[in-house]
């Protein structure tokens, strides 16, 4: 199951908030490490989504260009 940027971002914010409220150093450190990890996952999820969107747009553009070429070839072949 793939998680979304929003999920990871929420976990990062929660861990950071818990770190701010922690009174024990080891608890604060644990939450800061967790926040850093969640933030990394959020950033990765955002990059993956951007790459997927880019690839999809490239596929759409390629299909459109192929359709235009086919239409042009049909028009030129009919002449």
Give 77's pLDDT tier (boundaries 50, 70, 90).
confident
pLDDT digits (tens, 9 = 90+) for 47-75: 999 999 999 999 999 999 999 999 888 88
Distance from C-alpha of 60 to C-alpha of 22, rounded to nearest angstrom: 50
pTM of the model: 0.73
- 1 pLDDT exceeds 70? no
> What values do phi and psi take at 46, rounded to 5?
-65, -40
């Amino acid at each position: 199951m793939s998680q979304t940027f929003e999920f990871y971002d929420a976990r990062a914010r929660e861990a950071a908030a818990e770190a701010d409220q922690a009174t024990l150093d080891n608890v604060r450190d644990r939450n800061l490490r967790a926040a850093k990890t969640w933030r990394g996952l959020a950033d990765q999820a955002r990059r993956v989504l951007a790459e997927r969107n880019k690839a999809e747009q490239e596929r759409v553009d390629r299909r459109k260009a192929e359709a235009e070429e086919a239409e042009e070839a049909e028009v030129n072949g009919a002449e």
